[in-house]
Chain A
Amino acid sequence: MEYFVHIGILICVYGMVALSLNLVVGETGMISVAQAAFSGIGAYVTALLLLALGINFFLAVILSMLAAGAIAFLVGAIFTRLQEVYYVFGTVGFNVILYTVLLNWNSVTRGPLGIPGIPRPELFGFIFSDNHMFLGLALASLAAIYGLCTFIKNSSFGRVLHAIREDEEATSVFGYATHHYKLAVFTIAAMFTAYASGLYATYISYIDPSTFALPESIFILAMIILGGLSSTRGAVLGAFLLVILPEALRFVGFPSDIAAQMRQMTYGLVLVLLMLYRPQGILGKFRI
């Protein structure tokens, strides 16, 4: 049972990250390979604030969202003016730089040793130390992010994102400063992701830089491509499938150390098969 609760929490965390990345990639059509970097900012800032200042988790995670948002805004101000291909490489570069900083800024991040002993969230004196309760918190968080993404998608803002995805030039001639929109959605997505990974850090209680390296960004990208770009439900479905797939392999008889290695293989394979047979993903409407 504990095991299913654990998987459930991971699905919620990845679901939130996938939902936020879908705003950028799915709704707006900007392929970003930097979501793990914003995850890293969220997790590290939350963890460091909790440990150094002992403040409440919810305050810490909000501050981490602001930090991720501010960095996304600065980075995005440069990137969102770039053309498609340069933009993609820009996000790759950013993820690599952030990973390197986490790995080498020993005095703050403890480098490869990582940060242990991150405490669980506390709300009005109640501590989410029990995993079942934590799952409740994760589900509520997922529902909130899902609601926010739906709200954004159904707003006039969401309609403009869709228009940018299909024809940015034509959209701008009808009076939209399209790079403002791209910058805004890039920043919002970074903030949602920071929340999810702040939550993750307190759940897992230990973080190190490897969790926030480039392959993780590709893993998240694979989730939303699998689930279907520009589909809010698809993002959650993609997260669900790519979290449980390697676990399922373990049940059908793969030894657990091999199953762990298989995670990379499976999602690589899933991506290849998708591109061949269903480029719009399971629930998606559009192809990259």
Chain B
Amino acid sequence: MTLLRTKRLTKHFGGVHALDGVDLSFEAGAVTALVGPNGSGKSTLINVLTGFVPMDGGHVLIGDSVVPDGVRSSDVSAYGITRTFQSVRLIGQMSVLDNILLVLTERTVWGALFERHGAFHLDSAQKTLTEVGLWEKRHELAENLSFGQRKLLEIARAISMNASVYLFDEPFAGLFPEMRTVVSRILRRLRDQGAAVVLVEHDMELIRDLADHCYVLDSGKVIASGKPADVLREPHVVEAYLGK
């Protein structure tokens, strides 16, 4: 089942074609990898899909329905989409625990005003923070964590959203091996639970290992797609990566 799809998606920054007519689809219960050289448009795609950057043309489809006028960031969670950021965006002056509670508690103004987090929220936060090994650090400010811990906290925040589509922008970058194992395990679990997992990643080994499907972007265009083992062998893919 296709949960999220793009049709001829376009985004220009001045003269730069960050996305140039991109058609992609992300399936439930699958890890879809997005690969491509630096500047090929991977992060821009995630930014357009989450309303951080307005699109210039094309369509985004949630399930089978077109999102009119492009995605707005405040609607993203209602579509069941969540994300992480290539460079971490946590609430730095908030505790680790509060960063997670933030996405677990009441969304409406009136509800939030009269709500204090309860045992139910704490249980849920404990579960995800334990999974990424940060429960012991729950009272630390997010900005005082190490680089890797901050990345893990961001992933914990994303999985706390209970989304159906997860957009992970280079979740492994800069992580120690034991942390990588934790992230791999989480991605597999999300896939097995039926989510569409989108993984931006440069490490081909990891992609062969984790991804069910793979798109290769270059200069804002999809230049190849298919099973990672096949796609990553194609000469023009290798060439795009290594330079001409």
Q: How many Å lie between the Cα of A170 and that of B169 in the bound state?
A: 14
B74 within 8 A of A: yes
B25 lies within 8 A of chain A by Cβ: no
Which residue of chain A lies nearest to B81 when distances are taken between CB atoms in the complex? A173
Query: In the complex, which of the residues B93, B94, B101, B113 contacts A157, with contact meaning CB atoms closer than 8 Å?
Result: B113
How many interface residues does A have (CB within 8 Å)? 26
Q: Which of A156, A166, A167, A174 contacts B82 (CB 8 A)?
A: A174
Q: How far is it, in angstroms, between the C-alpha of A233 and the C-alpha of B152 when the chains are bound?
A: 34
Q: Name the one of B78, B89, B106 contacting A167, with C-beta atoms under 8 angstroms.
A: B89
B-side contacts of A175, CB under 8 Å: 74, 76-78, 103, 107, 161
* CB interface residues, B 112-145, toward A, < 8 Å: 112-117
Q: Is A160 part of the contact surface with B, judged by Cβ < 8 Å?
A: yes
Decide yes or no whether B109 CB sits under 8 A from chain A. yes
In the assembled complex, the CB of B218 is this many whole angstroms from the nearest CB of chain A, namely: 27
Contacts of A286 in B (CB 8 A): 93
User: In the bound complex, do residue A157 and residue B51 qualify as a contact, i.e. CB atoms below 8 Å apart?
Assistant: no
Interface string of A260-288 (1 = CB under 8 A from B): 00000000000000000000000001100
- Is chain A's interface secondary structure helix, strand, loop, or mixed overall? helix
A152 interface residue per 8 A CB criterion: yes
Q: Which of chain A's residues have a CB closer than 8 A to the CB of B94?
A: 159, 162-163, 166
Question: CB distance A160 to B51 under 8 Å?
Answer: no
> Does B98 count as interface, using CB distance less than 8 angstroms?
yes
Q: Do A155 and B116 have beta carbons less than 8 Å apart?
A: yes
Do A159 and B89 contact each other (CB < 8 Å), given the known contacts A169-B52, A174-B77? Answer: no
| Chain B interface helix/strand/loop/mixed | loop
Q: At the interface, yes or no: B102 with Cβ under 8 Å from chain A?
A: yes
Question: Assuming the A-B contacts A159-B98, A160-B102, A169-B73, are A176 and B107 also in contact, with contact meaning beta carbons closer than 8 angstroms in the complex?
Answer: yes
Decide: A167 near B109, CB < 8 A? Known: A173-B52, A173-B77, A174-B103.
Answer: no
User: In the complex the two chains form, is B93's CB within 8 Å of A159's CB?
Assistant: no
- Report how far A69 CA is from B115 CA in the complex, Å: 22
Q: A163-B102, A172-B73, A174-B103 are in contact. Are A156 and B117 (CB under 8 A)?
A: yes
Q: Is B105 among interface residues, defined by CB-CB distance under 8 A?
A: yes
| Shortest Cβ distance from A154 into B: residue | B116
A 169-186 contacts with B by CB, 8 A:
169-178, 180-181, 184
A51 to B211: give the CA distance in the assembly, Å.
Answer: 75
Q: Give the interface centre of B74, B82, B157 by most chain A CB atoms within 10 Å.
A: B74
Task: Write the nearest CB–CB distance from B161 to chain A, whole angstroms.
Answer: 7
Q: List 13 A-B contacts (CB under 8 A).
A: A154-B116, A155-B114, A155-B116, A156-B112, A156-B117, A159-B105, A166-B94, A171-B91, A174-B103, A175-B74, A177-B107, A181-B109, A181-B112
Chain A residues packing against B (C-beta within 8 Å): 152, 154-157, 159-160, 162-163, 166-167, 169-178, 180-181, 184, 285-286
Known interface pairs A157-B112, A162-B91, A175-B76; 10 further A-B residue pairs with C-beta atoms within 8 A, sorted by A's residue number: A154-B116, A155-B116, A159-B94, A166-B93, A166-B94, A171-B102, A173-B76, A174-B82, A178-B74, A285-B93
Q: Which residues of B contact A (CB under 8 A)?
A: 50-52, 73-74, 76-78, 82-83, 85, 89, 91-94, 98, 101-103, 105-107, 109, 111-117, 157, 161
